[in-house]
Amino acid sequence: MKIIKWLDEHFEEYILSILLALIACVMMLQVIMRYVFNSSLSWAEELSRYAFIWSAFLSIGYTIKEKTILKVDTFIEMLPKTIKKIARILVVCVNIAFFVFLFINSVPVVNKIFLSKQISPAMGVPMYTIYCATSVGFLFAAIRSIQSATKMVRETSEK
């Protein structure tokens, strides 16, 4: 139970931190190799790009969990208190539907890339591992949106 709670609270945070540190270290190594040793690494930019792609998609769920996702709620803020709560729950439900839709539609794309057996040019990594970032990111976003909706409903019913 402790492991599940820890994963729920910190999983994206640690993965995003590791990816950011990886990007920084690899790019610093690339700069040193290029300007000090006059030789560049063929795989450095590709690894950084793929780490950035993964971090971009994983950060969607993280921003939902932390309630820092970009949103425009000017109209909702003008509503009366009870209608405001209902409107926020409806917005989260639309988010859930949107992310589930994106997840469902990303899976065939990843499968198509998997079947193509395409590999990246510099590192030779199967490209489906990069495309998986979309499916994983949208799945996490849907899960975090469901958690957010559940929390909102609980808070609304308690008051």
On whether the CB atoms of residues 48 and 23 are closer than 8 A, the answer is yes
pTM of the model: 0.87
Instruction: Give CA–CA dist 110/76, Å, rounded.
Output: 37
Residue 9: DSSP 8-state: H
Give the 3-state secondary structure of residue 40: coil
Q: What are the tens digits of pLDDT across the range 85-127?
A: 888 888 889 999 999 999 999 999 999 999 999 999 999 999 9
Angle at 86 between CA 84 and CA 89, to 5 degrees: 110
Residue 38: DSSP 8-state: S
pLDDT-based confidence at 159, cuts 50/70/90? low
Asked whether the predicted pLDDT for residue 1 surpasses 90, the reply is no
Instruction: Give CA–CA dist 46/122, Å, rounded.
Output: 7
